[in-house]
Every structure is written in structure tokens, then in C-alpha cells.
């Protein structure tokens, strides 16, 4: 097991969906989620901080995949002064994505 300091410096974070799918994303992108940021940097000793692995038991794999894509989109275009490209969302996933975004504070 790595030390908390080494975990804090890790470049990537593993997000695990309710159905066991694993998504490895950059720590910078993951930190755009208020919930994930709290788990990784918050006070106390969260297991997630030590392992750089977060189990999101309430989010299915296909939804978590879109969340990860959105976090990269947000990082890339957050401070852009030009018109943003559309971020397409399938109508059948809107409700689950909204619930995931609310939970993740993204």
C-alpha cells in the first residue's frame, strides 16, 4: 500500500460503477466533481484517498462512462471563450445522468 502522500500525487483515479466497470481518469478531471474531490482531499482518512479508487455503487457503467467523458469535456472547455461544442446526451439517459451529476456535484 502506498503512503497517503504518494496517493495524493497520483495522476489517475479509478472509478468503479455499480456493475463493476472500472474507469481510469486523470486526477485533474476527477477533481472537477465536488464529491470525488471531497473523498480524495477531504479531512480524515478515506480509503479512497489511499487507494485512488472510488466505488460508486449508485451509478451504472454506461452512465459513469458519460460522466467521465463529461469531466474531460468540462476540463477542456471550462475557461474557453469561444462557442462550446454540443455535449450530446441520449434522451433515455437524461434522468440517470442528472441524478449522477447531482450526487457527484459535477
Using one digit for the tens of pLDDT, what is the confidence trace for 60-85? Answer: 999 999 999 999 999 999 888 888 89
Q: Given CA atoms 4, 55, 11, 102 in this order, what sign does their dihedral have?
A: negative
Boundaries of every domain in the chain:
4-104
CATH, domain 4-104, list 3.40.50.300, 3.40.50.2300, 1.10.1740.10, 3.30.710.10: 3.30.710.10
Interval 13-49: pLDDT, tens:
999 999 999 999 999 999 999 999 988 887 765 666 6
Place of cell 481518469: 25
C-alpha distance across the termini of the chain, in Å = 29
Rounded to two decimals, what is the model's pTM? 0.82
User: Using CA atoms, how far apart are residues 49 and 45, in angstroms rounded to an integer?
Assistant: 7
Amino acid at each position: 500500500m502506498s503512503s497517503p502522500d504518494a496517493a495524493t500525487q497520483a495522476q489517475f483515479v479509478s472509478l468503479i460503477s455499480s456493475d463493476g466497470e472500472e474507469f481510469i481518469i486523470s486526477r485533474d478531471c476527477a477533481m472537477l466533481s465536488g464529491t470525488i474531490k471531497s473523498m480524495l482531499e477531504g479531512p480524515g482518512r478515506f480509503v479512497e484517498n489511499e487507494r485512488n479508487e472510488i466505488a460508486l455503487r449508485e451509478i451504472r457503467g454506461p452512465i459513469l462512462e458519460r460522466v467521465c467523458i463529461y469531466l474531460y469535456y468540462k476540463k477542456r472547455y471550462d475557461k474557453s471563450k469561444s462557442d462550446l461544442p454540443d455535449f450530446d446526451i441520449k434522451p433515455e439517459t437524461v434522468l440517470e445522468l442528472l441524478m449522477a451529476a447531482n450526487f457527484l456535484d459535477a
